Structure formats: structure tokens, C-alpha cells
Structure 1
């Protein structure tokens, strides 16, 4: 014993202090791991029961993660089992309050459950509703983020279960509608713990393919528990990040998975998805024929209408006898020419009359007219008109201008107006 204590005292105190010359015995590592692990606090975990063995009142369970392939052994001691309302059942979804337990002799790690509760349908729906509300507030359901489907995709990506009715429905109905349609199919798990990882991986692979123009995620309905992978936050966010339009065709009307809200288009069934992704060739040909008929009818009506209009134009007198246009204009020109000549002559006549009248007025006011009436104009030698007798005293030479000719005279006597009155 003393030798063991001495050997124990010489061992490294920490893992970092060990070396090839001074290693730990395996039991030391196991004991230290046990002490460290079992000092961990209790925690609540959720999973699905894969195994449930009941022996001597104890329950030995295998609990697996609901989204990925991780599992743990869980032990429920008889004292805890007696407090549970129902016994654990394989396939049920539960939450458990656990603490890690490490068995040092074999290095086996397990969980000891202090409480175990089944997750009811109401709890699942409430949890999904909280997630749905959070994603909505984040804007992942905003219609402005949704992408429009192509009119006629060259290649369609399809994610569905292997040999499933959903795959057959989509391919059969899409091919009936458009025979040349091509599919890129990815078969994945559509329920269970592997569904989220496989669907997400297939989605990202198809989204990275430049030839894929639209992606359909299809499943033919099922129970709410089976559809939980399509409400996984990881898958929902992967769909929201896609650059390629995504159609959700899960086919569950009562409790819609969150995938329906984030997808660009929601189809009620896989058959509905096939109808939405490609047009109906028969219908399109019928529409094309109808459009061609409408176009032909419109062209014919337009030609007939223009033909009738041309016929009406040709029936007009002016087009039946085009010379009449020239004749009418010639007559107008002759008539207007005569009118302009008459107007010009009348204007000249009025001008002549006006000039004669003005000439008569001018002549009536001229000095010559006065002389013609018998008056005479007397001028001094300087040429000035003699208006006062005082300006021509006796002996002054004057010139008398008559209507015709003039006289040279000498003033013998000059009388002023006053002298004339005195005489």
C-alpha cells in the first residue's frame, strides 16, 4: 500500500505533464474522466427512442437525435420509472433531464435520466408555431423574396423518396403535359433522422447546377410526426438561400410544414406541382391555334375594311373623272381673273375721278383762276405784290398782271383808304 501511494505521488498531476517516460496508468485517466464528466450539470435533451428494454424495473433506452444520426444510451432507474405516468415506447419523441455517467472500468459513457416526458402533439405544434413566428418576423416569408417560376424550364430538379408515389406522380403528370421535359432526380429520406441532412444536401447540389431552373421537394403527405423534417430550421433556411425557385409539394393540408411558407411556390400535392412547373402542351397548342385564328380573322377584316374604303374612294366623282378637278380650278382661275380685272379697272376709274376732283379744287384756289374772273395782280419792280397804295407813291413804276399777259404802268396818283372816304 505504501508503495502504491508512493507511486501515486510520483505520477504527473495533469495530462499535459505526462510523457513517454512518465505516463499515466489507464485507470488514472478513467478516474479523472469520470470525475470531470460526472461533475457536468443536468440538462434537458430531446430525441426519439430507438430501443426501450425494461428489466427489473429499470429502463435501458437508446435515444437518437431527431434530425441527425447521433444517439446515446440512457438509463432510467426504477426509482425514476415509478414516477413516470407512462412507460417509454419505441418510436416516441421524448424530452429527458439527464446527467452524463462514465463507467470507468470499460470507458462506457451513458446518460442517467432523472425525468422523462413524452413530447405530445400539442407541444410539437406549439414549438413549430414559435419557429414559424420567428422566421416570419425575420422576413423569410416575405412575398418580395419569392422567385418567379420559369415559363418552360429546360431541366427540373426533383427531391423525393426512392420509388415513391410522389416521384411517379410528378414525372408522369409533367411528362403528360410537356413530353420533352427533363428531370434531375435526387432520392433522399423524406422522414426520420436522416431526412433533413439528405434533403438539404440534395437541395444545395441542385441549386449549384446551372442547368436546373426549378426545384421540386415532394412527398405524398403523412402524419405530422413524419413531416417534421420539412419544418426543420436548417432545411427552411437552406430553401430561403436558394437562387433557384423552389416548389414545396408535401401534400399536407391540415398542418402545413414551414417549408410551404418559405418556398417560392406551394403546391397542394405532387400532381399539383407537376401542373405548376410546366405548361400543358395540348392547351398551349389550342391557345396558339386560337391566337392564329384571331390573328387571321383580324387581318382579313382589316383587308376587307381597307378594300371597301378604297372602293368608296374610287366611286367618288372626283376620282371617277379626275379632269373635273382641273376644269373646276380653271374656271375658278378665269372667274377670279375677271373679277380682279374689273376690280382693278374700277379702282383706276375711281382714282381718275378723285384726281380730277382734286385738280378742280386746286385750280379753283389758284391765282390764275382769280385772274380769269377779271381781276389783276399789281407788282412792284421788285416783284413784290402791291397790297397798299401807300407803298406805290405817284411816279412809281408798277407791273399789272392780267389773266393773259401783263402791263407796265406808272402811278400818277395814289390814294389811301382814308383819303378815298374824304373824297
Structure 2
């Protein structure tokens, strides 16, 4: 009894598939994918004269992934646009699995170069997408430190951008330090290298700001700086990022998502690092203004003190006391005059009353010849006699006249 075919039994450790079976299955799965359109950058081209197959490598510009491509050399020679390494293309073909090498390659029958218009249109679509997500919002921009101790610089190796940033920054502030990462700034390897350098510098706590610098170039040269992955990585950074790509007319998408856009690498150095000479001048100016303000304040206070001292109460403190003393003396004299006047008036009144009293009093009457007769009681004071009935014979009397008094006794009464 013959055994069943290996592929008809469940795959297991006891029933493994041979390599040929696995290769056949993989080839069958890939073949069912059919024809596809693929976009990427050409990184390698191998077109040997006299051969019937050209070999290319198509790379994803955003990540470190590539795909082997084969085609007819005539497809490359007859292309309306010269195809070179780094060109962005769209290819149409069918994937094939080579069991002998265990590799996959794309056999293409049509290659279309992505023109400038198409690239710009794609950039504009990506710009609109990122703007709709709010990645261009100014409120997301992080402030740059006033004086960064260490600057992370991502730029091409040996380029003018690195020299411009470093020289200008050190000329403005000699103590500044750089953490430089040299990467590709164009071509298919630019984005992965820039992403790695950006992540490394962002993770370094000593780096206070990151500058992404490159000189000017064509639209194709600046394509890596409009890559969606790079733009999102800049937004995700916790360290402020300055974009200094190209010259003033150039504006890749990373300019819009960065925390600060500099027109040129030189401008980036000026925006990131303060000018020591200008800052010293500012300090001197502030010091002079502070000294002037202090002097003006002292002069104002001196003027206030002088005004206070010039007031009579402080210039001659005893003057008020003297004025009050004179006023008190005037009041005292006025009071004395009033008292004297009242006393004089009252004295005159008393004199008048005295004269009237003297005129009307008993002494004056007695002086005119009248007398006051009092009877003397044995156990009391003398009493004035008002009726003859009060003087029976033998009554002891006291008779007072103008110049004295005498005692008498009643000898008899007359009617």
C-alpha cells in the first residue's frame, strides 16, 4: 500500500514538507498576486551590453526596503525620460519567485518616470493631508532655548551647510557645542539615515535643539525632506527642530512641521544661537538704562525731600509754635481786657447799688434824726418795737441813733 503524497497530509514535525514543496507553494501564492504597479526609487542599474536582461533595485524612499527588478534593456533605452539611479519611477510587472535562489523579483514590462509635475502634485496632496491633521498648527511649535548648550546638526558630509552653521554659530557664541550627524541628504537612502539621526539626537538629553540643514537643490534633490515619515517624525520629537533646507524659494514640507523654519543654514545658525556681541551690547544698554533710571529715581526722591524740607513746618519747626504763642498772647490780652471791662462794669453797678443802698438804708435814715427802738428780752435777742402796746411801762429798751445806741426804760405811754 503506497503512502500518500506529503502535501496531502497535515504538515507537522513528523511530516515536514521538503524545500521543493515550500518553494512551489510560495511560487504559487506569488503567482496568484498577478500584475501590479509599484512606485519607488531606482538605486542600482545593471545594463550590460549584449545581454537580454537588465537588473535594477527599486527602493522605498521612506524605509530601508528594496525589491529586485528585471526587465528588458530596450525598456530602459527607449524610455522617454533618461532613467538614472535616484530617479522616482512607477513600474508595471509581475512578481516571480526563483526557487533555486529562494528570492523574489519583479519582472516589469512598463516603466514610467515620475515627472516634476506629478511629484509636486503629490507633495501638495501630502501638504493638504498634514495640514488637515493639524501638524502645521503654530500652537504645536516648541520654543527654542535662548542659549542652547549643545546643538544637534543633521547635514551632509563635507557640505557647505555644515560649515555655514558651525562657523556662524561659533562666531556668534564661541562656547556653543555641536553634536553632528552626517547623513545622505538626497537619494533613496536619505530618509532612513535622517530618521535614525533624528531619533538618536532627540533621545540625547544634552541636545537642546536639532538643526536639519541642507543646501539648495532641485525638486528631486529635496524630495526626502517632503517625505511623510520624516515630517511625522519631526512632529513627534520632544526636542525643538529647526528646518534649514535649501534657499529662500525652497519650501519642503519639513519646513512647515518644524518648530522653526530658517531661510538658509546660515540663517538657522543666527536664529538658534544669540550673538555674544549683540547680547553684551544689550546688557550694557540695559545696565546704562538701569543706572539712568536709578539716578532719575534718586533725583526725584531728592526733589520730593527738598520740597518737604522747604515747607514751613520743617524749614522752621518753631515758627508755628511762635505764631501760636502770639495768638495765645493776643487771646490772653483780649480775655484780660474783656474781664477788666466786665469788672469795671460790675464795679460801677456795685457803686450805684451802694449809693442807692446808702440812700435808702437805715443808717442814712438814722442820720437824719430817726431812731430804731428795740426792746430787750431777758432770754433772747432785742426785738424792734413796732407798736406802743409792745412797750408797757418798765420795759427795757435799746435806742439806736445815727452815731450809736443807748439803753432806756419805759416810764409811761402817751397816745
Match of 2:111 in 1: 116
C-alpha contact 1:58 1:81 (8 A) present in aligned 2: no
Report the secondary structure of 2:34's partner residue: coil
1:17 matched residue in structure 2: 11
Do the aligned partners of residues 217 and 333 (structure 1) sit closer, same or farther apart at CA in structure 2, a change above 3 Å counting?
Answer: farther
Alpha-carbon distance in 2 for matches of 1:25, 1:306 = 102
Give me the CA root mean square deviation: 3.5
Contact kept, 8 Å, 1:52 with 1:89, in 2: the verdict is no
Q: Which residue of 1 aligns with 2:367?
A: none
Match in the other structure for 1:278: 273
What are the ranges of 5 or more consecutive residues in structure 2 without an aligned counterpart?
A: 343-415
Say if 2:155 is the partner of 1:160. Answer: yes
Q: Aligned partners of 2:335 and 2:10: how far apart in 1?
A: 131
1:87 deviates by: 6.3
Cα distance, 1:333–1:94 mapped onto 2, change above 3 Å: same
Gap change, CA 1:105 and 1:185, over 3 Å in 2: closer
Query: Counterpart in 2 of 1:147?
Result: 142
Query: Which residue among 24, 29, 41 is the counterpart of 2:34?
Result: 41
CA contact (8 A) 1:217 1:249 kept: yes
Q: Give, in whole Å, the separation in 1 of the partners of 2:341 and 2:181.
A: 107
User: Do the aligned partners of residues 107 and 151 (structure 1) sit closer, same or farther apart at CA in structure 2, a change above 3 Å counting?
Assistant: closer
Return the offset for 1:299.
2.4
Contact 1:11 1:24 in 2 (8 A): no
Pairing 1:180–2:175 present: yes
Deviations along 1:274-322, one digit per CA (max 9) or x if unpaired, are: 1111211111111111222222223223333443454455455554433
> Contact 1:95–1:116 (CA<8 Å) still a contact in 2?
yes
Question: 1:231 Cα deviation (Å)?
Answer: 1.2
Please give the TM-score of this superposition, normalised by the length of structure 1. 0.71
For structure 1, the 5+ residue unaligned runs are 1-5, 348-423
Mapped to 2, the partners of 1:282 and 1:82 lie a distance apart of 60
Match of 2:192 in 1: 197
The equivalent of 2:24 in structure 1 is 31
Match status 1:53 vs 2:47 = yes
* Superposed displacement of residue 203, structure 1: 1.7
Paired position in structure 1 for 2:407 = none
Q: How many angstroms does 1:131 deviate by?
A: 0.6
Q: Return the alpha-carbon distance in structure 1 between the equivalents of residues 265 and 151 of structure 2.
A: 14
How far off is 1:153 after superposition?
1.7
Structure 2 SS opposite 1:128: helix
- Deviation, structure 1 residue 330: 2.2
- Structure 1 distance, partners of 2:115, 2:339, is 117
**What are the superposed Cα offsets for residues 153-204 of structure 1, whole Å, 9 maximum, x if unpaired?**
2222222222322122111111111111122222222222222222222222
* Number of residue-to-residue matches in the alignment: 345
- Cα pair distance change 1:295/1:336, threshold 3 Å: farther
2:208 aligned residue (202, 205, 213):
213
Shift of 1:108: 4.2
Report the TM-score when normalising by structure 2.
0.72
> How many Å separate the matches in 1 of 2:74 and 2:186?
35
Corresponding residue number in structure 1 for 2:60: 65
Q: Does the aligned pair in 2 maintain the 1:57–1:81 contact within 8 Å?
A: no
**In 1, are the aligned partners of 2:61 and 2:191 still within 8 Å (CA)?**
no
Residue 265 (structure 1) aligns with: 260
- Give yes or no for the alignment of 1:134 onto 2:117: no
Residue 294 in structure 1 maps to residue 289 in structure 2 = yes
Residue 243 (structure 1) aligned with residue 238 (structure 2) = yes
- Asked if the contact 1:68/1:193 (under 8 Å) is kept, the reply is no
